[in-house]
Chain A
Amino acid sequence: MRNAVLIVSLAACVIGVPIVAAQNAPTASKQSVDQLFRAAEKARDENHDDEAIQLYRSVVARQPESEQGLWFLGTLLYEKQQYPEARDVLRQFMTLRPDAGPGWAMLGLCEYETRDYRRALDHLQHAMAAGMGDRKELAQMVFKDVAVLLTRFERYDDSLDMLLKMLDTSTEQPDLIEPAGLAGLRLPLLPAEVSPDRRDLVSQAGRAVLALQTRHNEEAESEFHQLVTAYPNEPGVHFLYGAYLMESRPNDAVPELKRELEISPTHVLARVRLAEALIAQGDFDQALALAQQAIQYEPKRASAHMMAGEALLAKGQAVEGIKELETAREADPAVSRTHWDLLRAYGAAGRKEDADREKREIEKLSQSK
């Protein structure tokens, strides 16, 4: 159970007071439901949770569309770790209140506990989109769960973005070490799914990633060095180190990325990053070959097309290069580097209108950031 006390404190925030149990019920029935509701509220106030749950169940049985009844019942059941029932009650609540961010959060947390991870991710992201007001603790739980679920669904970069956002505000950084390590190593596991003999590897990678993200460069260098020394043959390790080096010492990244390809011969991103490093070194033929191999593995990978485009342009094959860059733009229009590449390529080809359009796209992207 995670932060149960926090949950109950949310109750009034979501549905508001005063409580009105049954707006359209006949008088006798309404009276009965109101009485039950007051009794439930009293039991809840006095921390007689089991009694409160029974009473709220009675309320909901008589008045299935009672928002308050469903919400209090769902949150109390969550607190009692009765996750499947809490989930079912909260699903009924969400039909009535699809605007309630904390409701989506609670539902997602229940689904996380019942290992329904796809729905959990979907609903926790709904919570983020709808907002959770000033409930920081709940928001942090939601953010962290979303980050670890993104990794489990192999959206590692999105997960790292989330973790980076959390680093700005979180005071619980140790909790983020394993999630960061898993995302960095591109292992689609939840922290609870890491086997004991892998914990050191994941933690070491996590410390390196977090040090890098918080711009503790010396510490990051040291952590990465320890990582590659301790786990020289582990898939993902050299890619992670190489990706780090690309930002600081691109030439040193090349052997790391090559080593990753020896360990993981079909690693698509290692190919893409190596192509990028080789373009910087002026080895366009080798870069193009790597980018094309990456495209073969993943035809929709925008960055692979971008590298192929850059290599082709550098080799003087403007028509083919532009075609690759246009494919990259189509696959992921939010990458400004592609638009910059196209701006220059169109300009060199005398295609002023196209170049102007790319310029506008770059401005739009920079404004949106």
Chain B
Amino acid sequence: MPSLLPTFLLAFTLTAPVFSLASPAPLAASRFEKLAAQADAARAEDRVADAIRLYREGTQLRPAWSDGWWYLGSLLYDQDRFSEADTAFRHLLSSPAHRSPAYAFLGLCEYETGNYGDALTQFRAWANAGWTGTADLRDVAVFHFALLLTREGRFVESLYLLASAAPRLGDLPELSEAMGLASLRMRYLPADFPPEQREAIWLAGEAALYAAQTHQEFDRADEFAARLESRYGAQPGVHSFRATLYGFELKRTEAEREFRAELEISPNDVSSMVALALIDLEKSELVEAEGLAKRALDADAKDAEAHHILGRVLLAKGDLNASLSELETAKQLAPGNPAVRSHLAMVLSKLGRTQDAKAESANFVVLKNKQDVMASPEEKLGEKTREKAR
């Protein structure tokens, strides 16, 4: 079973150290080259303490030595000496060859040293730079990125990242725990949730993990979800999680029942109201759908999905201008959501604003293709399920 302990990254694919640095003085160059060779030899012979000391000396002598910083950072990281590794990796941000994976390592180092805001910034920079790195680095970095998104309350994005890693990582306890936290919408990291919540988190995590496997194992997911509900049914978030699972399984009646049960416990739960509004919309029960969407907006006027669903309901009712207004608001609140653009394009087209509709259609395609973290896991997993059903 693979571990998410990021201690295997030392063998990260690198080119051999290069010494093509500008005009060193001959004596210094000679000393530097000797040091570099000694450092490489120590690393190759697994004399870690010596290698760290020699790379330190080498980088002090020649601060532009990117490969030296890289190996120094990697060795320190491999020793779990994250604060020191962080300092080394920062020297790589000016190196085009190393910058992108350095973001990932910096995110991991900041995470381990408890600088969670900075860690998130580094992971976002890494994502923007194209998520580069070996498969191992990507898995570890994506996992920690997701943990931080959960801590930020961005549960859907977190679950999307975790679910995308699940088929590769399999039934890994750490992954299950991370999915449990996000599934129950708990804004905690694995090291700081209340210990008595562990069983609920484990049960939710196992259910989510089995549902997210390539060959979705819904019977196993359901068993854990049923245990969760039986033990912790009075706890906020449990019924909405169960409902979401039912949604993946296309069991709409059960999903609706669970969302309603969630609202009994958490009357202002926006995501449950939005989900119920969507179910009503799909059943063409537009009055109920509109009522729920408005109730959701009363609870949180800045919820993009609530504006989105209200816009869709108004579109279905033929109230195009009101629909446009809601969808524009949704777009402002969630500019990366492709589904909002798609519905905007529909409304604009019906309003005769052909050029604007085309522009939004184009935006939809770009966002959809980008497959960025804003993509909804419900959408992804729902798509998979529908494919399977077909």
Query: Which segment, of B9-17, B93-101, B192-200, B272-280, faces chain A?
Result: B192-200
Query: Which segment, of A33-41, A46-54, A190-198, faces chain B?
Result: A190-198
B257 at the interface (CB under 8 A from A): no
Task: For chain B, residues 1 to 23, give those with C-beta under 8 angstroms from any C-beta of chain A.
Answer: 3-5
B49 at the interface (CB under 8 A from A): yes
Query: Which segment, of B57-65, B215-223, B315-323, B335-343, faces chain A?
Result: B215-223
Give complex CA distance A116, B191 in Å.
Answer: 7
B42 at the interface (CB under 8 A from A): no
A244 at the interface (CB under 8 A from B): no
The residue on B at minimum CB distance from A195 is B196
Task: For chain B, residues 159 to 179, give those with C-beta under 8 angstroms from any C-beta of chain A.
Answer: 173-174
User: Are B220 and A266 neighbours in the complex by a CB distance under 8 Å?
Assistant: yes
Give complex CA distance A308, B24 in Å.
Answer: 70
Q: How far is the CB of B210 from chain A (nearest CB, A)?
A: 9
Q: How far is the CB of A295 from chain B (nearest CB, A)?
A: 14
The residue on B at minimum CB distance from A119 is B5
Q: Between A and B, how many residue pairs show CB distances below 8 Å?
A: 62
B138 at the interface (CB under 8 A from A): no
Give complex CA distance A297, B198 in Å.
Answer: 25
User: Are B81 and A88 neighbours in the complex by a CB distance under 8 Å?
Assistant: yes
User: Are B192 and A187 neighbours in the complex by a CB distance under 8 Å?
Assistant: no
Q: How far is the CB of A317 from chain B (nearest CB, A)?
A: 27
User: Are A115 and B192 neighbours in the complex by a CB distance under 8 Å?
Assistant: yes
B190 at the interface (CB under 8 A from A): yes
User: Are B199 and A195 neighbours in the complex by a CB distance under 8 Å?
Assistant: yes
B325 at the interface (CB under 8 A from A): no
User: Are B81 and A192 neighbours in the complex by a CB distance under 8 Å?
Assistant: no
Task: For chain A, residues 254 to 270, give those with C-beta under 8 angstroms from any C-beta of chain B.
Answer: 264-266
Say which residue of A95, A118, A188 sits within 8 Å of B81 (CB atoms): A95
1/0 contact string of B218-234 vs chain A (CB within 8 Å): 01100100010000000
The residue on B at minimum CB distance from A264 is B223
Q: How far is the CB of A84 from chain B (nearest CB, A)?
A: 8
A228 at the interface (CB under 8 A from B): no
Give complex CA distance A91, B112 in Å.
Answer: 13
1/0 contact string of A76-109 vs chain B (CB within 8 Å): 0000000010001001101110100000000000
User: Are A118 and B5 neighbours in the complex by a CB distance under 8 Å?
Assistant: yes
Chain A residues, CB < 8 A from B5: 118-119, 122
Q: Which B residues fall within an 8 A CB radius of A?
A: 3-5, 48-49, 52-53, 79-81, 83, 114, 173-174, 190-192, 195-196, 198-199, 202, 217, 219-220, 223, 227
**Listed A/B pairs (19) with beta-carbon separation below 8 Å:** A65-B53, A84-B114, A88-B81, A92-B81, A114-B191, A116-B191, A118-B4, A122-B3, A122-B5, A154-B173, A188-B202, A189-B199, A190-B195, A190-B198, A193-B196, A195-B196, A266-B217, A297-B217, A297-B220
